[in-house]
Amino acid sequence: MISGLTYTTYRTVQGQRQVTGVANLIDIQYSYGDKSLPTWGHQVEVSAYGGWGDALKASVSGKATKSGECKVTTSKFPAKKLTPLNSWRLGESFFDTTATRTGAVGKCTTTWTLTLTNPGYNPATVKRPLDDFRCDNAFTGRVPGCVVPWYPSPLVYSKRAAPQLASHITRAQNSGLPGATLGQPLTRTTSQTTIDRNRDLACPPGETRPAGKSCDEYPLASSRQGMAAGGQRRSFSGCSISGVPTRTGPKGASACMIKVADQNYQGGKNSSFYKTERVMNKDPFRVLIGD
């Protein structure tokens, strides 16, 4: 996150407030973590790129704080002069989740409070919060770890490993169904009722399956955008489903008969992805096709 700041100094002379200096600042924040670690970092950098007068005599410092299920383990940003111009002043902080018990899920918001001090002037402060981290110990066989929950991680299927699956999803997305982009991701559902209904509506149980093939639906049955969300069925040439036209648009679901081996590959990939990427109920994710 990049933000701009203006720091202005004043003096009151004979009842009139006069500007004695201005400093133009830019601050950059970034956080980083790992889905397999219960710790993450939040850094901030501040630079003065212009100004004049007393404002440029100031020093900047910072303190990191938190809100939620976490604790501050390190907060370092001692006072540093703003000048020389175009030089960066760095603050670094680290946090540990407290959501470590089995089954625990907790969110944490971290904030840097920046303080500008200047001899003869009152201190000036500004707060810089960053996006939540969500940490959990809810996945069997996984250690506690943390993710940014609003970011839609990519579920990538290999067209070499599962060519018929890849072909179906590519055509389904090209027809307008969501899931391929950051702006239109899928959203996970863990409701077995919704999952079963998505499957049954997109791939009716009584529909004939050719030998060695299984019915694949898209959007995924484990998403809230599946057939249970409304719309109509669609299919494509070579999918071995008669009487279902090729449609376009973001609603509904597509169905295609693909090799059982491709379907089994998909099931294993989905299970591993949700666990490894810590994708929970209502979390966004993308579906991509790779080599």
Position with higher pLDDT, 2 vs 163: 163
pLDDT of 142 above 90: no
Helix and strand totals (H; E) in the chain:
3, 17
CATH number for 10: 2.60.40
- Which pLDDT score, from 0 to 100, does residue 31 have? 93
- Which pLDDT score, from 0 to 100, does residue 140 have? 74
- Which pLDDT score, from 0 to 100, does residue 14 have? 82
Alpha-carbon torsion, ordered 103, 109, 110, 111, to 10 deg: -170
pLDDT of 103 above 80: yes
Task: For CA atoms 21, 26, 29, 30, give the dihedral sign.
Answer: negative
Mean pLDDT computed over 148-165: 96
pLDDT of 286 above 90: yes
Let me know whether 219 and 172 are in one domain: yes
Question: What domain count does the chain have?
Answer: 2
Look at residues 147, 181, 215 and tell me which one is the last residue of a structural domain: 147
Let me know whether 10 and 137 are in one domain: yes
Let me know whether 56 and 80 are in one domain: yes
Is 18 strand, coil or helix? strand
- Which pLDDT score, from 0 to 100, does residue 2 have? 82
C-alpha 17/C-alpha 68 separation (Å) is 42
Mean pLDDT computed over 186-200: 98
DSSP conformational letter for 101: S
Let me know whether 90 and 36 are in one domain: yes
DSSP conformational letter for 16: E
Question: Which letter, b or e, does each residue of 134-153 get, where b requires 16 or more Cβ atoms within 10 Å of its Cβ?
Answer: bbbbbbeeeebbbbebeebb
pLDDT in tens, 264-283: 999 999 999 999 999 999 99
- What tokens were used for 14? 């004979």
Let me know whether 6 and 141 are in one domain: yes
pLDDT of 1 above 90: no
Give the domain extent around 174.
153-290
Let me know whether 55 and 113 are in one domain: yes
- Which pLDDT score, from 0 to 100, does residue 157 have? 98
Environment class of 24 (CB within 10 Å of its CB; exposed 0-12, middle 13-18, buried 19+): middle
- Which pLDDT score, from 0 to 100, does residue 139 have? 84
Whether residue 57 contacts residue 110, with contact meaning beta carbons closer than 8 Å, is answered with: no
Let me know whether 222 and 277 are in one domain: yes
Let me know whether 93 and 185 are in one domain: no
Report the amino acid identity of residue 180. A
Helix runs in 38-114, H state only: none
Look at residues 121, 147, 173 and tell me which one is the last residue of a structural domain: 147
- Which pLDDT score, from 0 to 100, does residue 131 have? 82
- Which pLDDT score, from 0 to 100, does residue 240 have? 96
| pLDDT > 70 fraction of the chain, expressed in percent and rounded | 100
pLDDT in tens, 40-97: 999 999 999 999 999 999 999 999 999 999 999 999 999 999 999 999 999 999 999 9
Is 273 strand, coil or helix? helix
pLDDT in tens, 239-273: 999 999 999 999 999 999 999 999 999 999 999 99
pLDDT in tens, 198-237: 999 999 998 999 999 999 999 999 999 999 999 999 999 9
- Which pLDDT score, from 0 to 100, does residue 237 have? 95
Let me know whether 141 and 53 are in one domain: yes
Let me know whether 37 and 126 are in one domain: yes
Look at residues 102, 117, 147 and tell me which one is the last residue of a structural domain: 147
Average predicted confidence (pLDDT) for the chain: 95
